[in-house]
Amino acid sequence: MGANYRMVTAASGGEGARRMYAVIMAGGRGERFWPRSRKQFPKQFLPLTGRRTMIQMTYDRLRGLIPPERIIVVTGSDLAGLVAEQLTELPRENILVEPVGRNTAPCAGLAAVVIESRDPEAVIAVLPADHQITDQDGFQGLLRVASALAREHAAPVTLGINPTYPETGYGYIQAGEPLSPQSQARWVERFVEKPSLEKAREYLATGNFYWNSGMFIWHVRTIRRLIAEFLPEVDRGLERIKEAWGTPSAAKVMAAEFSRFPSVSVDYGLLEKTPRIVVIPADIGWDDVGHWTAVSRLSSCDQDGNVIEGNVIAIDTKDSLISGHDRLIAAVGVKDVIIVESEDAVLICAKDRVQDVRQVLSKLRERGLKQYL
């Protein structure tokens, strides 16, 4: 497939890539990676699966396709410093700060109006800051194709990941007709929220369902049109932000508008309501690295199935992730456990319960232990 797409690219992707922008969404809090991921130092700034951090790898992945001046990072005000520190080549003016987080739809909208003022013919690839993709060439090839299709059809394009097992933690995309007889890209039939295990198995069996990767490619006019249609109050706010952009009142207008925006995702607020969306099947070594067990799966393990880093002594310990910070960690006779130590906290979590790390954060909030968040 990669080769096939690279041929398409050579034929039609030239302009697409030239006027292509990337928007890296880096406002998440990575709660499931507590205690390493913290409110003030979340997941995307951690080197979870390699030596570079998640956002650095997301940025690196665009090298050769999109230059730094066309990469935009959207993040929270308390995280902008980390973005600048970790992405040293990124022009400072390309870091957009959301006054408050309002999920992905307002985030994508903000990026759209800022990019629109630079190039009203831009195609934008919206990318989460904290995913892993091992096939960089395949990924870039798909972005070129997606860009061309987004321009040609004036429709949003999503990358749909070929599912390899019945994951219940992802949304799915049901694919319908191909765009053309030769095309691997297909029209989206519907978006499906996280399914039950039974449903997930059914989806897998049909061969027509893809994991929703959260990566979207659209012409700036397309996203603005969708927001105007389905989130008109956000659209009006974005207009006011666009007008104020670059003036002394920009910050004030941003704060006022964002505080009024609903918290709504691109999927739920826009795409699920849109009839014409393209999905491109993507086989690019993607993983959303959603929790500690994913890190464990994506890292190379020893002969006992363990992933170990830091100052660790493991005795008869199997299929576990042990990540030390500065203390010695000794594990004896445990299996399928995640052990993560940070400066001020230690997590011990059953591997099949990593989704519930969020409950720890709820408890911390309940007890007013903000220093651990």
| Contact flag: residue 353 with a copy of itself (CB under 8 A) | yes
DSSP three-state, residue 282: strand
Minimum CB–partner distance for residue 370 and a copy of itself (Å): 12
Minimum CB–partner distance for residue 255 and a copy of itself (Å): 34
Distance between CA atoms of 340 and 360, rounded to whole angstroms?
A: 14
- Cβ proximity to a copy of itself: between 117 and 359 the closer is 359
| Contact flag: residue 373 with a copy of itself (CB under 8 A) | no
Instruction: Retrieve residue 80's tokens.
Output: 């902008």
Among positions 328, 365, 368, 370, the unique one binding a copy of itself when judged by CB under 8 A: 328
Q: How far is CA 373 from the centre of its chain?
A: 21
Candidates 67-75, 177-185, 301-309, 325-333 — which segment interacts with a copy of itself by CB under 8 A?
325-333
Minimum CB–partner distance for residue 31 and a copy of itself (Å): 12
E strand or H helix that includes residue 322: strand 321-323
Q: Which residues of 156-169 are buried (b: 16+ CB within 10 A; e: fewer)?
A: bbbbbbebeebbee
Distance between CA atoms of 38 and 165, rounded to whole angstroms?
A: 30
| Contact flag: residue 348 with a copy of itself (CB under 8 A) | yes
Among positions 93, 121, 229, 352, the unique one binding a copy of itself when judged by CB under 8 A: 352
| Contact flag: residue 197 with a copy of itself (CB under 8 A) | no
Q: Which residues of 255-293 are buried (b: 16+ CB within 10 A; e: fewer)?
A: eebbeebeebbbbbbbbbebeebbbbbbebebbbbbbbb
Minimum CB–partner distance for residue 131 and a copy of itself (Å): 24
Distance between CA atoms of 8 and 165, rounded to whole angstroms?
A: 29
Question: Quick count: other Cβ atoms within 10 Å of Cβ 86?
Answer: 18
Among positions 339, 365, 368, 370, the unique one binding a copy of itself when judged by CB under 8 A: 339
Among positions 35, 42, 160, 214, the unique one binding a copy of itself when judged by CB under 8 A: 35
Minimum CB–partner distance for residue 54 and a copy of itself (Å): 22
Candidates 71-79, 257-265, 275-283, 335-343 — which segment interacts with a copy of itself by CB under 8 A?
335-343
Q: What are the residues whose beta carbons fall under 8 Å from the beta carbon of 336, sequence distance 6 or more? A: 318, 319, 320, 350, 351, 352
- Cβ proximity to a copy of itself: between 11 and 332 the closer is 332
Distance between CA atoms of 92 and 126, rounded to whole angstroms?
A: 19
* Binding stretches for a copy of itself (CB under 8 A): 34-35, 313, 315-316, 327-334, 337, 339, 341, 344-350, 352-354, 356-357, 359-360, 363-364, 367, 369, 372
